[in-house]
Amino acid sequence: MQIIRHDRQGYPDSVAEQESLVAQVLCEEAKSTLILTEHPPLYTIGTSGRESDVLSRQVDGESIAVYPSGRGGEVTYHGPGQLICYVIADLRNDQDLHRHVHRLEEMAIRTLADFGIHAARDPRGIGVWVEGKKIAAVGVRCRKWITFHGIALNINPNLRHFSGIVPCGMSDAPVTSMRALGSNASRDEVEQSIRQHSAIFTSETSSYA
């Protein structure tokens, strides 16, 4: 799996990059890719989301842009201090989107464990949770069995920005971050762990399937 890293990237540019990679994978001109990036403050509305779930575009003194998104899921927040992991994966020989989502979650769960944080799935919804609070949101899209979009892991974002939305359609689902849980891990450190655990998408002998 090739890895592309950006310090920060506008959301439209990010979507365009993913669309280009999906087309290249379909044409056998590129291989599966992990994109590690960060966005300026913004809200995205997934295919199951509603405009009414954006409660305010002015939060904590900042103006937050809103973008429609072709990914699955509802409304979520992206911003500085959050590591975005977009996975362009070829599922043509493994046509199981549910398994792909679980692998995204597992990558984050294993990464968080490296920093002493016990995270897990929760029956309330997809994503990664710590003691009833969501620490990573998942949203994917699939085109001809090539996936894109992915998972957003909260390292140290401004958690007040989540108050401007109904996150993932759940008004009673508070969010948390690695910093809020006592970890001072840097983005570089988290990325190093994510890179290691991204092998779950390519290893045929992975213990998780």
Confidence of residue 204 (pLDDT cuts 50, 70, 90): very low
Confidence of residue 203 (pLDDT cuts 50, 70, 90): low
Which range, of 2-11, 174-183, 195-204, averages the lowest pLDDT?
195-204
DSSP for the chain, please give it. Answer: -EEEE-S---HHHHHHHHHHHHHHHHTTSS--EEEEE---SEEEE-TT--GGGB--SEETTEE-EEEE-SSSSSEEEE-TTEEEEEEEEE-TTS--HHHHHHHHHHHHHHHHHHTT---EEETTEEEEEETTEEEEEEEEEEETTEEEEEEEEESS--GGGGGGB-GGG-TT--B--TTTTT----HHHHHHHHHHHGGGGT-TT-S--
Which range, of 38-42, 52-56, 195-199, 203-207, averages the lowest pLDDT?
203-207
pLDDT of residue 168: 66
**CATH number for domain 2-201, candidates 3.40.50.300, 3.30.930.10, 3.40.630.10, 3.30.2320.50:** 3.30.930.10
Q: What is the pLDDT of residues 77-101, one digit of tens each?
A: 999 999 999 999 999 999 999 999 9
> Which contacts (CB < 8 Å, 24+ apart) does range 127-134 have?
127/151, 127/168, 128/153, 130/176, 130/181, 132/174, 133/173, 133/174, 133/175, 133/176, 134/167, 134/168, 134/173, 134/174, 134/175, 134/176
Q: What is the pLDDT of residues 129-184, one digit of tens each?
A: 999 999 999 999 999 999 999 999 999 999 999 999 987 666 666 899 999 999 99
Reply yes or no on whether 168 is catalytic: yes
Is the predicted pLDDT of residue 205 greater than 70, yes or no?
Answer: no
Distance CA 19, CA 133 (A): 31
Which range, 14-23, 163-172, 199-208, has the best average confidence (pLDDT)?
14-23
pLDDT of residue 207: 41
pLDDT of residue 131: 93
Q: What is the pLDDT of residues 28-81, one digit of tens each?
A: 998 899 999 999 999 999 888 888 899 999 999 999 999 999 888 889 999 999
Confidence of residue 113 (pLDDT cuts 50, 70, 90): very high
Q: Which of 27, 85, 142, 168 is catalytic?
A: 168
* pTM for the predicted model, two decimal places: 0.93
pLDDT of residue 208: 41
pLDDT of residue 48: 86
